[in-house]
A and B are shown apart, each in its own frame.
Chain A
Amino acid sequence: MAEKIILKSSDGEVFEVEETVAMESQTIKHMIEDDCAGNGIPLPNVTSKILSKVIEYCKRHVEASAAAASKYAAEDSSSKPADNELKAWDEEFVRVDQATLFDLILAANYLNIKGLLDLTCQTVADMIKGKTPEEIRKTFNIKNDFTPEEEDEMKVRLISGKSTKHIAVVWQSVVKATEPPTCMRLVFVMENGNGWLPAVVTSGSRASAFGGLGEYNCLRCCLAYGLLR
């Protein structure tokens, strides 16, 4: 009774799937509704390897929705274990090499399968979170196309919110004002081992932050005055 839809991958393989499963893809759904599914739907952008994975995903999720629907009808609120199972299945599903993961992203986008797109993009996002720029580049083999000057500029901006041009001017004027230095104590607040918020205490008054100087500009200033051992 369940209608079958024919899907053809880019490398000529033919897949027969149930209509409900195929309709997880909005792209395919529209084609079916527009009556273009007659002789099978060609998917020139999706290889058989990826298409079989996509179909696997859709099957599993159609099953899950059906189970949830019947539970809802029976007013059974014990959906938690099933949800956790599905989550675990999803996690296992995306445990693939990067090439496949990005192929899945492209396929999910082309076939317009929201759940799969969300899942795969979230996986890549999780691989990005918590990494430094260099680590991100390593993980994804991204080429660093910044010049050293541009990198310096970015580092300073990232830490201080100001551009290097601005910093230089501020730094010079600060150095002039305290020459010879009347600093009694230089206090550095370390944050995550990355950023330094420098503060200078001058003769008894409370600490006033440089508030925005780049880390190495301030360090340079301190080194110049032998304040940093």
Chain B
Amino acid sequence: MQSNTRIHSDPYLTEDHFDRIPDPLVLLIFNKVADVRSLGRCSAVSKRFNSLVPLVHDVYVRIDRVVTVDGDPDEPLNLSSPKPRNLLSHLLKLMLFTILKPFHHLQNPSGGNKSLLPQLSHHSPAQVLKNFTHIHNLRIELPAGDVGTEDGILLKWKAEFGSTLQNCVILGGTWMDRKPASSNQEQSAEDNGSIPESFYTNGGLKLRVVWTISSLIAASTRHYLLRQIIKDHPTLRSLVLTDADGQGTLTMGVEQLREFREKPLAASASSNRTQVPASNMKLRYAPYLELPEGMGMQGATLVAIKPAGEGSSGNSSSRKEVEAFISGAFDGPFKAAVKALVKRRTYLLEMNGF
């Protein structure tokens, strides 16, 4: 049915303007479309579009539903991700025996070994991306953060992976609020930069360790999911895996993707995520931080994780890289939080691989 409302007669109204622009410009437009669903529809528009869509450089995949599929040996599941909460409590129990007392108050969901298949209209992302042959920059957005947290708790992480963890920074807070400008009670009291005794006695350290482990599990699980995609797309230069809640970001750049392809991936014992290597952690804490835009963060914690034994920390250029990574990890008020926390006293912790 021919259109719609034409108020004025325009000789160009019946012309296909795409005919006037060369393929590289059409590709530019497709790069800006980026969304994989829309691009799929573009490829059904005409033969020219159909031939150009596979050449797009920038692709964005938004996963809107994660579907539970029981382990089915016939169906080659391209992407499977264990439900983090089940896994979390299971792993925590195993691992924390060696570090801290077990957390009895943690939920024990009736988890079996259900595997979740992130799906895009009943296709896995790897399948949907199979048509694209020249992807340079891939962004994938999961529907939600992997780590469940109680109300009011803020948890954000950013991790860089090559074939294994290279860098991770976690920002957490026990409460976020909008504070009136006049409050500065706690701040002046214990602001000598060191962690107050209360932090250890009221479960503060335990909570931070849980945050850290959960975030690392989430990050390494996501990393493991990407194997097929990275294998399928040798043209990849950058890969970013985020979630709609803005909780966690996994990034891989050119060098890291190369390392991934060259070095074999070490899977963890449960083999649904990458092994996290033994690491050094730097923890910084502030009981209360005032942030821009009138926000306040209680129990603010910054944890920076780096695998142990990777070129000694005396290497100044790598230290600068790590600092740049940490300060650039988050935006907005969180960037300011990181800036404030970095000035605080650093506590060093060591962690086994898991």
A79 within 8 A of B: no
- Nearest chain B residue, comparing its CB with the CB of A117: B28
B3 within 8 A of A: yes
Contact present for A133 and B21 (CB under 8 Å): no
Contact present for A125 and B45 (CB under 8 Å): no
A125 to chain B, nearest CB (A): 4
Contact present for B17 and A98 (CB under 8 Å): yes
Task: Give per-residue flags for A128-158: 1 if the beta carbon is below 8 A from chain B beta carbons, else 0.
Answer: 1111110011101111111000010011001
Report the separation of the CA atoms of residues A138 and B14 in the bound assembly, to the nearest whole angstrom.
10
When distances are taken between beta carbons in the complex, the residues of chain A under 8 Å from B128 are 161
Contact present for A129 and B122 (CB under 8 Å): no
When distances are taken between beta carbons in the complex, the residues of chain A under 8 Å from B35 are 129
| Chain B contact surface mostly | helix
A224 within 8 A of B: no
When distances are taken between beta carbons in the complex, the residues of chain B under 8 Å from A106 are 20-21, 25
Report the separation of the CA atoms of residues A33 and B40 in the bound assembly, to the nearest whole angstrom.
44
Contact present for B40 and A158 (CB under 8 Å): yes
B178 within 8 A of A: no
Contact present for A128 and B14 (CB under 8 Å): no
Contact present for A125 and B32 (CB under 8 Å): yes
**Size of the chain B interface, CB-CB below 8 angstroms:** 40
Among the listed stretches A2-10, A46-54, A189-197, which one makes contact with chain B, having 4 or more residues with CB under 8 Å of it?
A: A189-197
B121 within 8 A of A: yes
When distances are taken between beta carbons in the complex, the residues of chain A under 8 Å from B122 are 189, 191, 195, 197, 209, 211
Report the separation of the CA atoms of residues A189 and B50 in the bound assembly, to the nearest whole angstrom.
28
A124 within 8 A of B: yes
B344 to chain A, nearest CB (A): 24
- Nearest chain A residue, comparing its CB with the CB of B130: A161
Within 8 A of A (CB), among B1-26: 3, 10, 12-18, 20-21, 25
B93 within 8 A of A: no
B156 to chain A, nearest CB (A): 23
B339 within 8 A of A: no
Chain A interface size range: 35 or more
Contact present for B121 and A191 (CB under 8 Å): yes
Contact present for A141 and B127 (CB under 8 Å): no
Contact present for A145 and B12 (CB under 8 Å): no
Report the separation of the CA atoms of residues A73 and B316 in the bound assembly, to the nearest whole angstrom.
30
When distances are taken between beta carbons in the complex, the residues of chain B under 8 Å from A132 are 41
Within 8 A of A (CB), among B40-98: 40-47, 49-50, 70, 72, 75
Contact present for B42 and A99 (CB under 8 Å): no
A97 within 8 A of B: yes
Residue from B10, B15, B38, B46 whose CB has the most chain A CB atoms within 10 Å: B46
Contact present for B14 and A141 (CB under 8 Å): yes
Report the separation of the CA atoms of residues A33 and B10 in the bound assembly, to the nearest whole angstrom.
41
B349 within 8 A of A: no
Report the separation of the CA atoms of residues A101 and B17 in the bound assembly, to the nearest whole angstrom.
9
Within 8 A of B (CB), among A103-131: 105-106, 109, 117-118, 121-122, 124-125, 128-131
When distances are taken between beta carbons in the complex, the residues of chain A under 8 Å from B123 are 161
B153 within 8 A of A: no
- Nearest chain B residue, comparing its CB with the CB of A129: B38
When distances are taken between beta carbons in the complex, the residues of chain B under 8 Å from A192 are 121
B29 within 8 A of A: yes
| A144-B46, A146-B46, A192-B121 known; A109-B41 Cβ under 8 A | no
Contact present for A136 and B42 (CB under 8 Å): yes
Report the separation of the CA atoms of residues A140 and B20 in the bound assembly, to the nearest whole angstrom.
12
A206 within 8 A of B: yes
Contact present for B32 and A99 (CB under 8 Å): no
Task: Give per-residue flags for B94-128: 1 if the beta carbon is below 8 A from chain A beta carbons, else 0.
Answer: 00000000000000000000000000011100011
B268 to chain A, nearest CB (A): 29
- Nearest chain B residue, comparing its CB with the CB of A141: B16
- Nearest chain B residue, comparing its CB with the CB of A197: B122
Contact present for A154 and B44 (CB under 8 Å): yes
Q: What are 25 sample pairs from A and B whose C-beta atoms fall under 8 A apart? A: A97-B10, A98-B12, A99-B12, A99-B15, A102-B18, A106-B25, A121-B25, A121-B28, A124-B32, A125-B30, A131-B41, A132-B41, A133-B41, A133-B42, A136-B42, A138-B3, A140-B16, A141-B16, A142-B46, A151-B44, A192-B121, A195-B122, A197-B122, A208-B72, A209-B75
**A residues touching B (Cβ–Cβ < 8 Å)?**
97-99, 101-102, 105-106, 109, 117-118, 121-122, 124-125, 128-133, 136-138, 140-146, 151, 154-155, 158, 161, 189, 191-192, 195, 197, 206, 208-209, 211
**B residues touching A (Cβ–Cβ < 8 Å)?**
3, 10, 12-18, 20-21, 25, 28-35, 38, 40-47, 49-50, 70, 72, 75, 121-123, 127-128, 130
A106-B20, A143-B16 known, 15 other contacts, Cβ within 8 Å:
A98-B12, A99-B10, A99-B15, A106-B25, A130-B38, A131-B38, A133-B41, A133-B44, A136-B42, A138-B3, A141-B14, A141-B15, A144-B46, A154-B43, A209-B75
Closest 8 CB pairs of A and B: A125-B32, A99-B12, A102-B17, A133-B44, A197-B122, A125-B33, A141-B16, A133-B45
